[in-house]
Chains A and B, each alone.
Chain A
Amino acid sequence: MRSSSQVDDSEHYEGPAKLKIWWLVVAVLTAGIVVVLGLILGPASLGVREVLVEVLDRLPFIDTDSGLSAREQAIVWEIRLPRVVLGLLVGSMLATAGASYQGVFRNPLADPYLLGVAAGAGFGATVAIVSGLGDGIGTFDAVPMLAFAGALIAVTLTYLVGFSAGRIDPVTSLVLAGVAVASFFTAVQTFVQQRDSETIRQVYFFVLGQLRTAGWDEVLLVSPYVGACLLILLLLRRRLDVLGVGDEEAGSLGVDVRLVRLVAVLAASLGTAAVVAVSGLIGFVGIIVPHTIRLIFGFSYRIILPLTILFGGAFLVGADLVARLALEPAEIPIGVVTAFMGAPFFVLVLRTSRRL
């Protein structure tokens, strides 16, 4: 190789794309602040100090007295904290699934519902509600169970249909199959929903999304899926960067493109199906969060994925605060809040990406 002096001045260069520690710190602090706000704000206003001491008190080996009454303690532990934790899980999963889909399909508008997860979950939930099997509350209620099953069936169908189309390229055929499967499930869901006017309101609430919980059940239900799926996607971050050069070149660089796409889509879809089962269909998170991070921090998935997990969770907890407090004591469905913020944002992303 050439003279070594050229290699020695490598400090003058930035080096490869890398997640900076202070970005992570900012993301963790943001999430922390939103979580604290989620705990103290509400119909019963609680002090920051009392709530923090109360949380510390529950940690092992720490014994203090927060001064909160038993009723206030219950508000923190049984109502607000599970809701905030669920918000973190759902937000990070939806945002990360969106980012991964955008990488795998090389389409900036891909969102976690692209392959029919939402329509399948909506159908499953509608069947559960209309048939009177469940009311949407609790871990082993029929609504999240059938929603989860519906979502998985829809994605599986999309995959089967997408792979059976031989003539066109695999990305296009998968996306088109998703459109077809989603339309079909939406049609069936609407049909089932219209046959029973008594439950339309309940179905409607599921479709708009909500983070109402009955305690820790929903958190326990989704956290294994979210944890495993986020881990897999995070580990795939470099492969997702390689897919940026297209299937053919990624193949020539030694990537088994079909395998990477299969693993990423399965992880993103499974995680999405799990969170949709408990939270309903919360839109736009999968598009707003990753695109904001791309524009601010950079285009490598090594940067996007870790930050998306943290900011995705923070964003949804924040949106849930707006949903809870804006029209207090009434609650706005969180899907309305995210869509309300997402639609203008969407226009912004479109405008900037045209300029670049």
Chain B
Amino acid sequence: MEAISCRSLRVSFGTTEVLRGVSLEVPKGGWTTVVGPNGSGKTTLLRTIAGLQASQGLIQIDGHSLGAYSRREIAKQIAIVPQQPVIPHGMKALDYVLLGRTSHLGFFETEKRQDIEKARAALDELDVRFAESRTMGTLSGGEIQRVVVARALTQGSPVLLLDEPTTALDIGHQQEMLEAVDGLRRRLNLTVLATMHDLTLAGQYADALILLERGEVVASGTPQEVLTEEQITQHYGASIKVIDDGFGPIVTPVRRGTNSPE
């Protein structure tokens, strides 16, 4: 069963076509990552699936057309962690996480006790409970990222979209973040669809990769099938080497002209 399924998705900004007929399937409970060079349409694809961008084509969430859902119903199905979240001035971490309960509250309603418990449980899940009374502005980049994921988790949606979840983090925090998300996915049976720049990390944490270039899917499949020297060289214009150590392909840059072994 597919958690997300897209057919011939098209998005244009003015005369520029950003997505040009994208079709993809994201299996339930799996982790799928979209990779591709800058400007290939990764973020637009995620925004479109989250119902934040008008598009042509068909998007189905859990077998139902996205267009039939209201904003509130979409939020109950899909939570998104944006690449650069807007952090409101002076807001404390617990209040920020509680924003995730919005889709469960009426138009004029405020949080109940159980909402606060859910928010605290999510902060616990991501090991940032200690920060709940701290202002967002005083947290480190890694802590902020965890609190943002906790907000998404508090939404209680079965599908989690992550837009470049690791760009602002160092290599240790990148691994911590991805491990945390993977743990949540397994425990709570979430479906994860992410975009990532780091191809090695992308391959290590996803069951399936989708390679996007200029708004079109040019390759998809397991990490081994997608992360080949030939495809990466062709679509990224990069000089790289792929090493397989048994845990997945390791993509490493090689300086041009020096990549021949002596």
Interface residues of A (CB under 8 A from B): 1-2, 6-7, 10, 13-17, 235-239, 241-242, 244-246, 248-256, 294, 298-300, 302, 356
Contact partner of A248 (CB less than 8 A), chosen from B52, B72, B100, is B52
Most chain A C-beta atoms within 10 Å of own C-beta, residue among B79, B87, B95: B95
Given known pairs A16-B111, A238-B105, A253-B155, the reply for A245 and B99 (CB within 8 Å) is yes
Shortest 9 CB-CB contacts between residues of A and residues of B: A254-B103, A254-B75, A244-B88, A299-B90, A235-B108, A246-B86, A254-B72, A253-B102, A245-B86
Contact with A along B87-128 (1 / 0, CB 8 A): 111111011001110110101111100001100110011000
Contact partner of B103 (CB less than 8 A), chosen from A237, A253, A299, A300, is A253
* Contact (Cβ within 8 A) B52 A251: yes
Most chain A C-beta atoms within 10 Å of own C-beta, residue among B50, B79, B102, B103: B102
Say how far A40's CB is from chain B's closest CB, in angstroms: 39
Contact partner of B74 (CB less than 8 A), chosen from A1, A2, A242, A254, is A254
State the main secondary structure of chain A at its contact with B: loop
Say how far A13's CB is from chain B's closest CB, in angstroms: 5
Given known pairs A15-B94, A256-B71, the reply for A238 and B109 (CB within 8 Å) is yes
For window 46-97 of chain B, which residues contact chain A by CB distance below 8 Å? 47, 50-52, 70-72, 74-76, 78-80, 82, 85-92, 94-95
Measured in the bound complex, the distance between the Cα atoms of B47 and A135 in whole Å is 57
* Contact (Cβ within 8 A) A1 B121: yes
* Contact (Cβ within 8 A) A13 B88: no
Say how far A167's CB is from chain B's closest CB, in angstroms: 9
- Please name all residues of chain A whose beta carbon is closer than 8 Å to the beta carbon of B155 when the two chains form the complex: 253-254
Contact partner of A13 (CB less than 8 A), chosen from B76, B105, B133, is B133
Measured in the bound complex, the distance between the Cα atoms of B109 and A242 in whole Å is 12
Measured in the bound complex, the distance between the Cα atoms of B125 and A1 in whole Å is 7
Say how far B207's CB is from chain A's closest CB, in angstroms: 25
Most chain B C-beta atoms within 10 Å of own C-beta, residue among A6, A246, A294: A6
- Please name all residues of chain B whose beta carbon is closer than 8 Å to the beta carbon of A2 when the two chains form the complex: 121, 124-125
